[in-house]
Structure 1
Amino acid sequence: MGFPKNGKIGPRFCQPGATGRPPCPAPLELLIARRRRTSCYFYPRAWPSVRGADWWERVVLKEFGPQDWLEKFRMSRETFFYVCNLLRPGLAPHSAHFHPALPLEQRVAVALWHLATNVEYQTLSPLFGVGPSTVQTCVREVSYAVVLLLKPLYLRLPNEKELENMARIFRARWGFPHCIGALDSLHLPINPPLRLSADYCNGQGWHSILTQATVDGLGQFWDVSTAFPGSMENSAVLESSRLWVLAKEGRLCPNPPKDFMGKAQKYVLLGDATYPLQDWILKPYQEDEKLTQRQLQFNYRLRRAHSVIENAFLRLKARWQILLKCDDCSLELLPTLVLACCILHNVCEAHDNPFNEEWLEGTEPTELPKPCQPAPAAMEDGRAEQVRELMCQYFESCGEG
């Protein structure tokens, strides 16, 4: 099953290679040209007339096979009921908002189905025999419960021992030493809000909210900051985030820092040109400069390792397709929904629930170009250049190409 042993749960207790799963392929391999399927077979073809309680009790619980659970809820039956048990304290059994005959497991099923497929409330409601408003309530309350009860287990700041293990995993899987993660941003499309519309219009001219995330070498999120308006630059989001505060407080590395290449050095995160160079954030050298061979090699190694978060975002959006088009979600709920999807992504990855690459057909990543504003020079840390030089020396000395 892949469940954590010794009562420990959460993404950082997974060991590299323990499941035999290879590293995520590079983004270009995932972005093979695909077209969105024009029809969405919402109801299983074999049971078109079964609805409500009969649907849940006779079909889902008794006749759904492993692929049915994976397709509709994005997780195995075992993981689904494991999640339900964890959410039980946060979902009152007789809430006035819910249909009296709708048990907790059905409420979670309604919410996960909507998050996975982004099917409209009106389309989903007849299948479970409830009204559209009940579907909406299920999505809202289950999302809040996921953040409240699962976030401390699956999306939390690693402790010192876990940071050391994360650095080991990152080096083993991606060939980049002394690194605990990759940092990037995700723009999620929204309808233009009635007020503050300009604030949510990003540099590419479409409306979005901005999420900053950090993943480990396994592609699991360990820091997520969301709800920023799309017009903000990545560097400004970083300065406003908890991650920035944690780094400045020295909470992203042991005290004193571990030795690297004969010097005490903080652990690093890998970013792109939109982030400022810091002694704890590395980014590629500018390509328009005349780079040395080892600087070019550094760029190659960093971009290859940074692809772990690009792949994680692809898998996140493909698995939870509500993030592809957040039209029915209010701006107030959206941050909770994004966090819930990131947490559920970690649950599925940590429990080795299969990922169906056909889900990628719905992502169409080239439709909306990603804003890419370089970080201002004023935010650059001059001392960080020494860290990049150390990394260049490392790759040169070990012959990494």
Structure 2
Amino acid sequence: MEGEEEERRALVLLTAYVLLKRRRDLNNAHAQRRAEVQRRVRHQQHSFQRQRRMLMMMIAGGVRSDDRIRTRPWTTTRTTDWWERVAMTEFQPSDWLEKFRMSKETFLQLCDRLRPRLARQDTSFRLALPVEKRVAVALWRLASNVEYRTISALFGVGKSTVCRCVRDMCHAIVALLGPVYLQPPGERELEASAQLFLSKWGFPHCVAAVATLHTAIITPSDNASDYANPGGWLSVLTQVVVGGRGQFWDVCASFPGGTEPADVLQNSSLWATAADGGLSPASPPSFMGKPLRYVLLGEACYPLQSWLMKAYPEERGCHPVPAEPPRLFNRRLARALRSSSEALLRLRARWQCLSKRNDCGLDVVPTMILACCILHNVCESHGDAFRAEWQAEVAEAESPQPGHAPLPSTGVDQGRAEETRKLFCDYFQEQNM
């Protein structure tokens, strides 16, 4: 009897366990079903709101890329797959050049190079954006400087996603492409650049020009007065070195707009590199019968050095008129300095986030400037076309580039610098005769 009682008790316990397990499984299944229904409802609501925002923007004036309405068939697309269905399949070469400032071939190569830093894994909640779409979102921002909400509606992503795409791509460009497209030249590159300066600009024994670029910014939270440049507006000051091919060799983009260009130069790596002869072969080439290192050219706001030539001071008022050799030197120098001004103009015209006020934070702006300089070198080295109408857009920018006051010619290198500058005067005098 006791054995039968034990068996019945065990059977009752087993039955109760099975019933409890079945009830728990049913509850879990109902909870998962409710969660799935709620997730689908939220997704539909989000899609509806996004399409509604797109529709409202189309009604208000259409998607714009550069503050002008362009009558293209794809500008009225309201679906969130605009990038996959229209841009990647229907864009013509002129569309790629206009909207992304580069050819489709260069764009795809750029994506492949940045893939190690930009690729993301899918999660249980959403699919990761493809690298091509992330790069396209960021390039649209750099090329047009339009608001995040406009790009968000166009590509069907959130504004925070647009911000992350811009930040991530700029950092990836600096990390992966900077060592390739932005580095000091070797001896062959120096010699080729010197030949280009001589043949195109008529200035011998010169390999690069130093110039400055001011990028307008929003008012920073701290030390806003430091960012006021000579033009009276707030900016970040960038120093660039432009070679004979119109590409950048060195970029320093981290100084407030009120900083003197001479201070930027003396605190940059270029100063130490050039002073140690790093921009010239170990055996200096001959010039005017003397061994002389290659020189760089700069505006009057820079200090005169044996490796950095600038113009003679302009004589006015009661001072005597400068002799013909210095005047001739100044004219040839001004002509050669057009190499840097033209390169900066092409940079600002191609990437208009540098020609209009940039509303990104100060932690992003220097990296964005550096990334744009690298992208400039990428496009120039790949031979991508440059449109003249882009320069007209820069001419209409809110903030024209300010000028800097001349710096007196003083310093420990003054004697050698004057001797070097006189050699160039003699050269131009002989050529003129």
Match of 1:290 in 2: 321
1:116-149 deviation line (CA, Å, top 9, x unaligned): 0011110111111100110110000011111111
**Whole-angstrom distance in 1 between the partners of 2:432 and 2:382:** 36
1:164 CA drift (Å): 1.5
Q: Is the 8 A contact 2:275 2:307 kept in 1?
A: no
Where 1:228 maps in the other structure, the secondary structure is strand
Q: Is the 8 A contact 1:184 1:309 kept in 2?
A: yes
Match of 1:393 in 2: 426
The higher relative CO (CA closer than 8 Å, separation ≥ 6) is in 1
Measured at CA, do residues 177 and 95 of structure 1 come closer, stay the same or move farther in structure 2, by a change above 3 Å? Answer: farther
1:1-400 equivalences in 2 (<5 Å): 39-41=67-69, 44-53=72-81, 55-94=82-121, 100-288=127-315, 290-363=321-394, 364=396, 367-368=399-400, 370-379=402-411, 381-399=414-432
**Whole-angstrom distance in 2 between the partners of 1:52 and 1:217:** 45
Measured at CA, do residues 112 and 38 of structure 1 come closer, stay the same or move farther in structure 2, by a change above 3 Å? Answer: closer
Name the count of aligned residue pairs.
Answer: 362
**Whole-angstrom distance in 2 between the partners of 1:315 and 1:253:** 27
User: Which amino acid counterpart does residue 115 of structure 2 have in structure 1?
Assistant: R
Where 2:253 maps in the other structure, the secondary structure is strand
1:376 CA drift (Å): 4.0
**Whole-angstrom distance in 1 between the partners of 2:362 and 2:416:** 40
**Whole-angstrom distance in 1 between the partners of 2:79 and 2:237:** 38
User: Which amino acid counterpart does residue 247 of structure 1 have in structure 2?
Assistant: A
Q: Is the 8 A contact 2:210 2:242 kept in 1?
A: yes
**Whole-angstrom distance in 2 between the partners of 1:95 and 1:259:** 61
Where 1:383 maps in the other structure, the secondary structure is helix
1:46-83 deviation line (CA, Å, top 9, x unaligned): 44124332x12221121111110001100001111011
**Whole-angstrom distance in 2 between the partners of 1:300 and 1:376:** 19
**Whole-angstrom distance in 2 between the partners of 1:140 and 1:275:** 33
User: Which amino acid counterpart does residue 216 of structure 1 have in structure 2?
Assistant: G
1:365 CA drift (Å): 5.9
1:42 CA drift (Å): 6.7
1:225-247 deviation line (CA, Å, top 9, x unaligned): 11101111111111011100111
1:296-329 deviation line (CA, Å, top 9, x unaligned): 1111111101011111111111110111234421
User: Which amino acid counterpart does residue 186 of structure 1 have in structure 2?
Assistant: L
User: Which amino acid counterpart does residue 277 of structure 2 have in structure 1?
Assistant: G
User: Which amino acid counterpart does residue 334 of structure 2 have in structure 1?
Assistant: R
Q: Is the 8 A contact 1:182 1:216 kept in 2?
A: yes
Q: Is the 8 A contact 1:99 1:130 kept in 2?
A: no
Measured at CA, do residues 63 and 278 of structure 1 come closer, stay the same or move farther in structure 2, by a change above 3 Å? Answer: same
User: Which amino acid counterpart does residue 382 of structure 1 have in structure 2?
Assistant: G
Q: Kindly name which structure, 1 or 2, has the bigger radius of gyration based on alpha carbons.
A: 2
Q: Is the 8 A contact 1:316 1:345 kept in 2?
A: yes
In structure 2, stretches of 5+ residues that fail to align are: 1-64
1:345-398 deviation line (CA, Å, top 9, x unaligned): 111111111111111222236844513122244336221111111111212223
**Whole-angstrom distance in 2 between the partners of 1:390 and 1:365:** 41
In structure 1, stretches of 5+ residues that fail to align are: 1-36
1:134-182 deviation line (CA, Å, top 9, x unaligned): 0110000011111111111111111122212211122122111111111
RMSD: 2.1
1:238-259 deviation line (CA, Å, top 9, x unaligned): 1011100111222111123111
**Whole-angstrom distance in 1 between the partners of 2:273 and 2:87:** 44
Measured at CA, do residues 42 and 151 of structure 1 come closer, stay the same or move farther in structure 2, by a change above 3 Å? Answer: farther
TM-score, with length taken from structure 2: 0.79
**Whole-angstrom distance in 2 between the partners of 1:327 and 1:107:** 20
Where 1:94 maps in the other structure, the secondary structure is coil
1:43 CA drift (Å): 8.2
Q: Is the 8 A contact 2:143 2:351 kept in 1?
A: yes
Where 1:297 maps in the other structure, the secondary structure is helix
Where 1:52 maps in the other structure, the secondary structure is coil
Where 2:415 maps in the other structure, the secondary structure is coil
**Whole-angstrom distance in 1 between the partners of 2:141 and 2:240:** 23
TM-score, with length taken from structure 1: 0.85
User: Which amino acid counterpart does residue 322 of structure 1 have in structure 2?
Assistant: C
